Chains A and B, each alone.
Chain A
């Protein structure tokens, strides 16, 4: 059974950093791209970015709203994907979901981890 478990969320002050982790199990982690999607309280879904391993090495893509502040990385030996969030803003407050894949068809979602940016 495919499982994705996020961790690392919590309360953080504006301008500070936070790193989220996503641990995958039940599949060959290294064979798949991994993405992060977020949802602000009471709002819609927003794609954050993805990391993909292809024949040319690791590729990442980010939404314009987080480009330059957020970094996605992965450790395939541990089946973990990371979301490093720097210079956090109050508008980054959201539930952050880890999902398998880099595209439009997302079969597997984690349960999410809540990030609250507030002073």
Chain B
């Protein structure tokens, strides 16, 4: 089982706000990264660190963290945001990397 836990599926109405969460004890110490993956494509980094977006990622994507939970928020979800989202972080050993099981986001 993964050290990071995500809800398997989440849905959001077009234009509304959705929060995708990631829980794990290591998140008390390390920040999470968030990745978007569309079918047949490699993952794309959307959020890293405290709340940083790589160049080209829309500002409707934001990140936050509290205690053992990291969150990815999409404010004003668009149809093109429909994808699988994965969090990752350091594992309990500190050197290893772990991924959450992923959340399938449906935009209605």
List residues of A whose CB falls within 8 A of some B CB: 35, 37, 44-47, 50, 61, 63, 97, 102-107, 109-112
User: For residue B101, which residues in chain A have a CB less than 8 angstroms away from its CB?
Assistant: 44
Flag whether B35 is at the interface (Cβ < 8 A): yes
User: For residue B31, which residues in chain A have a CB less than 8 angstroms away from its CB?
Assistant: 104
| Pairwise interchain contact A107-B54, C-beta atoms closer than 8 A | yes
| Pairwise interchain contact A61-B42, C-beta atoms closer than 8 A | no
User: For residue B24, which residues in chain A have a CB less than 8 angstroms away from its CB?
Assistant: none
User: For residue A97, which residues in chain B have a CB less than 8 angstroms away from its CB?
Assistant: 42-43
| Pairwise interchain contact A47-B86, C-beta atoms closer than 8 A | no
Expressed in whole angstroms, the Cα–Cα distance for A46 and B45 within the complex equals 15
Q: How many residues of B contact A (CB 8 A)?
A: 27
| Pairwise interchain contact B98-A44, C-beta atoms closer than 8 A | no
A59: nearest chain-B partner, CB-CB: B95
Chain B min CB distance to A102 (Å): 8
Convert B13-40 into 0s and 1s, putting 1 for each residue whose CB lies closer than 8 angstroms to a CB of A: 0000000000000000011110101000
Chain B min CB distance to A1 (Å): 13
Flag whether B48 is at the interface (Cβ < 8 A): yes
Expressed in whole angstroms, the Cα–Cα distance for A97 and B45 within the complex equals 14
Partner of B48, one of A61, A104, A111, A112: A104
Flag whether B88 is at the interface (Cβ < 8 A): yes
B97: nearest chain-A partner, CB-CB: A47
| Pairwise interchain contact B33-A105, C-beta atoms closer than 8 A | yes
User: For residue A107, which residues in chain B have a CB less than 8 angstroms away from its CB?
Assistant: 45, 54
Q: List 5 other contacts, CB 8 Å, given A47-B98, A104-B89.
A: A45-B102, A47-B96, A104-B30, A107-B45, A111-B42
